[in-house]
Structure 1
Amino acid sequence: MSEPIRARRLSEEEGRTLLRIVRRGQHGTIRVRRAVIVPAPVSGNANAAIAALVAADPDTVRDVIHAFNDRGLDALDPHWAGGRPRRITSEDEAFIVQVASTRPKTLSQPFTHWSLRKLADLHPGHVDSATR
């Protein structure tokens, strides 16, 4: 079994800020859950008990506490990165908006409204990546 997780001692200001976040609950749910996690080990709660309290994985609790020890209150706002790469460029997006906001008849097209397929047929180089 791993060592119990230890959080560093909270300053008065950090304690007040965490308490305010939890009591008001006006912040995002992730921020409130993290504000509940941070002071929990100080009062002697085990990692598994904290995880059960906030309905999170014990590894998540450990990561939040380690982040708090390193970065302080900035750890309440996770900076997730990554995700799927964009499949459409900003230029493609601008072209689509420009064409879609123009009436098809103005561009000599025989229909009354745009669809993604019609845009793709009009300019395959620009719109093709959006339809895949």
Structure 2
Amino acid sequence: MVAADPVRVRRLSDQEGQQLLCTTRRGAGSPIRLRRAMVVLASADGSTVAAIARLVQADEDTIRQVIHRFNEMGMA
């Protein structure tokens, strides 16, 4: 049995990185948007799905879903 590649967010553009940082620093607005921004930034910094799940107190499958969705749709 071959292990699957770890789930990672794609390389962020400068604009995406700045937008995500602003979202996390402000901490205002939707808690869901804040949590998603934290997930994407943590993945971009090299954190594993398990570590991110502990950080934001979420299920690993949820973290993978957020990362996959960002990779497909970006900031939309």
Corresponding position of 1:14? 16
Query: Amino acid of the residue matched to residue 3 of structure 1?
Result: D
Q: TM-score, normalised by structure 2?
A: 0.90
Corresponding position of 1:55? 57
Structure 2: give runs of 5+ residues left out of the alignment.
Answer: none
Q: Report the Cα distance in structure 1 between the residues aligned to 2:22 and 2:45, rounded to whole angstroms.
A: 18
Query: Amino acid of the residue matched to residue 69 of structure 2?
Result: A
Corresponding position of 2:44? 42
Query: Amino acid of the residue matched to residue 60 of structure 1?
Result: T
Q: Percent identity?
A: 51
- For residue 62 of structure 1, give the secondary structure of its aligned residue in structure 2: helix
Query: Amino acid of the residue matched to residue 58 of structure 1?
Result: E
Q: Report the Cα distance in structure 1 between the residues aligned to 2:4 and 2:53, rounded to whole angstroms.
A: 15
Runs of 4+ in 1 over 3 A off after TM superposition: none
Return the index of the structure with the highest Cα Rg.
1
Q: TM-score, normalised by structure 1?
A: 0.54
* Matching residue within 23, 26, 50 for 1:24: 26
- For residue 73 of structure 1, give the secondary structure of its aligned residue in structure 2: coil
* Matching residue within 2, 5, 8 for 2:7: 5
